[in-house]
Amino acid sequence: MIIGTLAGMISVLGFHFLLPKLKQYRLHDTCAVNNLHGIPGLVAGVTGIIVASIGNRSGSLTSLTDACCGGGKSRNNSTQSAYQATARGLTLGMAVVGGLITGWHLPEEDIKDNSNMFGADIGRTALEQKTFHRLRMIFGLLLSSSIILSDDYSENLSVNTGETATFICDLPEKYSNKKADFYGPTGRLLVAKTDEDITSGDRTRFILEHTYAWTWSLILSDVSDDDAGEYTCRISSSSDHQTLTIIKRFNLTVLTPPKIIDIIIESNNNEILKENEQIILKCLARGIPQPKIIWQLPGKTFQLNKRNDGNIIAYENKLLIKNLSRTTPVDYQCIADNGIPPRDTRTKRLFPSISPEMTIQSSIQSSHIILNCTITARPLNSAKWKRNRFEINTIKRKQINDYTVELILLLDINTNIFGMYECEAENQFKVSKAFINIDESILFNRTTTLLPKYHRTSSSSSSYAQIELLLNQTSICTYNFYFILLINIILVNYSHGFYNRR
């Protein structure tokens, strides 16, 4: 346990403090193999040497020593520790020599400004496969022995849009004197000979290079989405060039920035948004890798799977609005991000539909009557004033906000304006109307600054009973006026006669 604890401490310290130093000297420690595997092995080996150098029966029970320490090579403790030290030195020497050969053989472009060599990032697997294959080629040539390889193995490549992809094909020794050809995802031969290129428009797209005697490379510049797929490196394995052997397959993945396709609305009314209903916004985006969706309001970001304000919940690529009302925010922004710049954003505006609601207010100013009809509706297909069922064109329209409008009607006080006035508003949900009657009683109320207010919130069509009610109310006011006037005249005449008798 002491040895394991010590090795673990050294490994963790090396991973956090030594590994960053390796980058400065361009040393490769993929996935911290040396720190997390090599250092513990080295500590265990050194400990074994120390233990072997201790006396045969030091600190051990007699029965244990007799059972475990008998037999063997009959070496004394010094000889055994020397053997173990030699083995440890040989292991370190092989690691150093192998690292030097690897560093010498890797081309400069493979390690220049390539931060992926220092961790398990994109491209590490492809680089290790390439390095391993080349090392086997080198040792095979040095030992003058045949290289036993599968004639077909695959490599995964990931490249950002607009960058350059390089396909490296190392031929086995038995094919080292042959020419390699590269075929695209559609099975088409891409390049026929070295330095020949295939053009797409005005751009050079594919270039074939013969780097070493056994190495052929295909360089694909300005990679686009359409270039993704499987590429193959093949050679002619017969004298008539009719038989093709696939040496290597390349699976090219093109990393593309996010793109929002659309923001759709899921509701119970075929995307017709009604007030006080529940709706779901769904942001559809594509990209490689698949983008993550973030929802935002101006100055506010929604956290996933949390009830942000009691009414709005964001989950996955959806946004749930439990109660859509005229006071709910209008703009909702979808942000798609997959780590490949730039991010994509799109805004969806929500306007709940409102059935027409209206109020009529009338007032007298100088010699004019002002009728004001306030309408609340979304959308508002038509709004008009009518007199005795005929539309009036001389009105003033005032927009209060995106769902409220005022229709103002100015009338000169004379006998020609008497009649039933009707304010009408219509949208696809219904038609609403409100009425006000103006007759000769207005002449006796010119000192009044405000006439009664008539309010109507919903109606499908005008009703004769409702119109009659308004007329009756006006008539009752007129009769009350004449009754009061008659009583006043009687009282004045009676008072005049009383004083005369006095």
Range among 58-62, 233-237, 372-376 with highest mean pLDDT value:
372-376
User: How many whole angstroms separate alpha carbon 95 and alpha carbon 301?
Assistant: 52
Q: Which residue did the predictor score with more confidence, 358 or 479?
A: 358
CATH architecture of the region 267-349: Sandwich (2.60)
Give the pLDDT of residue 264. 93
CB 149 within 8 Å of CB 196: no
CB 225 within 8 Å of CB 216: no
Residue 280: count other Cβ atoms within 10 Å of its Cβ: 14
What is the 8-class DSSP label of residue 174? Answer: G
Shared fold status for 122-258 and 354-483: yes
E strands present in 240-276: 244-266
- What is the DSSP track for 118-131? GTT-TTHHHHHHHH
Give the closest residue to 430 by CA, choosing from 382, 360, 387.
382
Q: How confident is the model at residue 148 (pLDDT cuts 50, 70, 90)?
A: very low
Give the pLDDT of residue 289. 93
Quote the distance between the C-alpha of residue 138 and its chain's center. 47
Give the pLDDT of residue 34. 59
Question: What rounded mean pLDDT belongs to the chain?
Answer: 75
| Main-chain phi, psi angles of 186, to 5 degrees | -90, 0
Out of 82-91, 216-225, 437-446, which region has the weakest mean confidence (pLDDT)?
A: 437-446
| Main-chain phi, psi angles of 142, to 5 degrees | -65, -40
Instruction: Determine the topology of domain 354-483 in CATH.
Output: Immunoglobulin-like (2.60.40)
Determine the average pLDDT of the residues in 466-471: 38
Judged against a pLDDT cut of 70, whether residue 486 lies above it is answered with yes
Give the pLDDT of residue 72. 53
Give the pLDDT of residue 449. 42
pLDDT digits (tens, 9 = 90+) for 176-206: 888 899 999 988 888 765 554 454 443 468 8
Residue 141: CB partners within 8 Å, gap ≥ 6?
A: 173
Give the closest residue to 339 by CA, choosing from 264, 449, 258.
258
Out of 195-204, 309-318, 457-466, 470-479, which region has the weakest mean confidence (pLDDT)?
A: 457-466
Give the pLDDT of residue 73. 60
Give the pLDDT of residue 419. 92
Judged against a pLDDT cut of 90, whether residue 4 lies above it is answered with no
Judged against a pLDDT cut of 50, whether residue 417 lies above it is answered with yes
- What is the DSSP track for 39-74? HHHHHHHHHHHHHHHS-TTTT--HHHHHHHSSSTT-
User: How many whole angstroms separate alpha carbon 358 and alpha carbon 92?
Assistant: 91
Residue 337: CB partners within 8 Å, gap ≥ 6?
A: 258, 291, 292, 294, 343
pLDDT digits (tens, 9 = 90+) for 319-356: 999 999 888 888 999 999 999 999 999 999 998 889 99
Determine the average pLDDT of the residues in 77-89: 84
Domain locations in the chain?
1-57+76-119, 122-258, 267-349, 354-483
User: How many whole angstroms separate alpha carbon 327 and alpha carbon 276?
Assistant: 10
Range among 45-54, 90-99, 260-269 with highest mean pLDDT value:
260-269
pTM (predicted TM-score) = 0.50
Q: How confident is the model at residue 116 (pLDDT cuts 50, 70, 90)?
A: very low
Residue 410: count other Cβ atoms within 10 Å of its Cβ: 13
Of the chain, the percentage scoring pLDDT greater than 70 comes to 65
Q: Which residue did the predictor score with more confidence, 257 or 83?
A: 257
- What is the DSSP track for 89-151? HHHHHHHHHHHHHHHHHS-HHHHTT-GGGGTT-TTHHHHHHHHHHHHHHHHHHHHT------S
Give the closest residue to 127 by CA, choosing from 452, 119, 137.
119
Judged against a pLDDT cut of 80, whether residue 215 lies above it is answered with yes
Q: Which residue did the predictor score with more confidence, 110 or 493?
A: 493
The CATH number of 122-258, from 1.10.540.10, 2.60.120.580, 1.10.10.10, 2.60.40.10, is 2.60.40.10
User: How many whole angstroms separate alpha carbon 164 and alpha carbon 123?
Assistant: 13
Give the pLDDT of residue 163. 92
pLDDT digits (tens, 9 = 90+) for 47-78: 888 887 886 555 545 554 454 555 456 677 78
